[in-house]
Chains A and B, each alone.
Chain A
């Protein structure tokens, strides 16, 4: 499992980190990553394309992680269960990649207004899930545009991936766009 200290070390030197985690410890790795963000005065933008944001909120609550500074961009709930949670923005489909980019930029503006002392940590959960819905061409373009847009804002970006389910092609693309790779 990836430790908070390890995450801290790589983010000191890099802005975009690809995290390859084993499926057995995937949730634990996410918790370490969120913990790193909260301990380091960050506001978290959590792009959930794997499971609905409500599931993670429950997990964060049960583990005692304060989640008032965690904002979700939920691409899995669709519009069937639009939440009234002020910390959640629903994007209707994981194929609406440009809308995800805009929501990140929107949250960035909002957090600059409301939490000016906190810098964003953007978590993409996960590259594998986005690859189910999008072909590799548009997915690499998405990450490239996202990185180009968030880098000047001082944000950090963590791209999560499940190691056992990564194809060579996807893995290669993600490594190309990331500053470094953290492997569990």
Chain B
């Protein structure tokens, strides 16, 4: 039973929505944390594509790959529909293009640069009526913010935009393989409304992808670790079998 009956934004990944008691509470900004190869980008794009199926437009802010490559990598998936991208139901914008448009060339942003960036994102989100947003990755933006105060300020302002328009956001957080926390700078995990941790579990020579919901404001949720597989139908989950770990 759920404590608060908040409106849900279904990710469209059946098992994940079940673990979240119906989906991400609408208006939340959620960290998708994980090291390389754990499926962060796939999860983010699948979230956006399923959104279009529900009549919700999606915005993908890309800092790691150019938009053509992002689309090309999604072609093998059965849920991929190129027309969603062609018709603008999903808009991809490259972070370097934003920096260039706003003349943000400094390696370390000042407060006014952050405000400019936030205002620009807010305009795009409002004008495009986007209800689902993915930033891939937040870490690369944080790299230019450098200090904890600036990172906190950026995320809080971004969350305000998301919440105000009733959108839901995924913020990709890149981790090193043996990282202890859920974000590179530590601030991101404290400010985010939710954290979904993607991992690589090495077990007797096998490398299993895992998924675990660490926190999600506004809902009760699973806290167990699941094995995740990326299939042509998208992300699928199975309970992690624990028999192997009984003595660990």
Task: Please report A residues at the B interface, Cβ cutoff 8 Å.
Answer: 92-93, 95-99, 101-103, 105-106, 109-110, 134-142, 145, 149
Contact = CB atoms under 8 A, between A and B. Distances in A.
B153 interface: no
B243 A102 contact: no
Contacts of B232: 106
Given A92-B206, A95-B203, A98-B208, A109 B233 contact: yes
Contacts of A99: 208, 227, 229, 238
Contact of B206 (A96, A103, A110, A149): A96
B4 to A, nearest CB: 29
B205 interface: yes
A112 to B, nearest CB: 11
Contacts of A138: 241-244
B204 A95 contact: yes
A81 to B, nearest CB: 19
B208 A145 contact: no
Among A96, A139, A142, the one with the most B-chain Cβ atoms within 10 Å of its Cβ is A96
Interface of B: 203-206, 208, 227, 229, 231-233, 236-244, 246
B243 A101 contact: no
Contacts of B244: 135, 137-138
A134 B237 CA distance: 21
A102 B231 contact: yes
A20 to B, nearest CB: 23
Contacts of A134: 243
A152 B198 CA distance: 28
A102 B241 contact: no
Contact of B238 (A105, A136, A137): A105
A12 B190 CA distance: 55
A178 to B, nearest CB: 18
Contact of B231 (A93, A97, A101, A106): A106
Given A105-B238, A106-B231, A145-B238, A95 B243 contact: no
21 contacts: A93-B205, A93-B206, A95-B205, A96-B208, A98-B227, A98-B229, A98-B240, A102-B231, A102-B237, A102-B238, A105-B236, A105-B238, A106-B229, A109-B233, A134-B243, A137-B243, A137-B244, A138-B243, A138-B244, A142-B241, A142-B243
Given A93-B205, A97-B241, A137 B233 contact: no
Given A93-B206, A99-B208, A110 B233 contact: yes
A110 B239 CA distance: 21
Nearest to A92: B206
Given A93-B206, A95-B206, A99-B208, A139 B243 contact: yes
User: For A137, A139, A145, A149, which residue has the most chain B Cβ atoms within 10 angstroms?
Assistant: A137
Contacts of A98: 208, 227, 229, 238-241
A101 B203 contact: no
Contacts of A93: 205-206
A137 B246 CA distance: 9
Contacts of B205: 93, 95
Q: Which of B227, B229, B242 has the most CB of A within 10 A?
A: B229
A141 B208 contact: no
A141 B206 contact: no
B238 A106 contact: no
A58 to B, nearest CB: 26
Residue in B205, B232, B236, B241 whose Cβ sees the most chain A Cβ within 10 Å: B241
Nearest to B203: A95
B153 to A, nearest CB: 41
A61 to B, nearest CB: 26
Max chain A C-beta neighbours (<10 A), residue from B208, B239, B240: B239
Contacts of A149: 238
B132 to A, nearest CB: 23
A96 B236 CA distance: 15
B238 A135 contact: no
A108 to B, nearest CB: 10
A136 B241 CA distance: 12
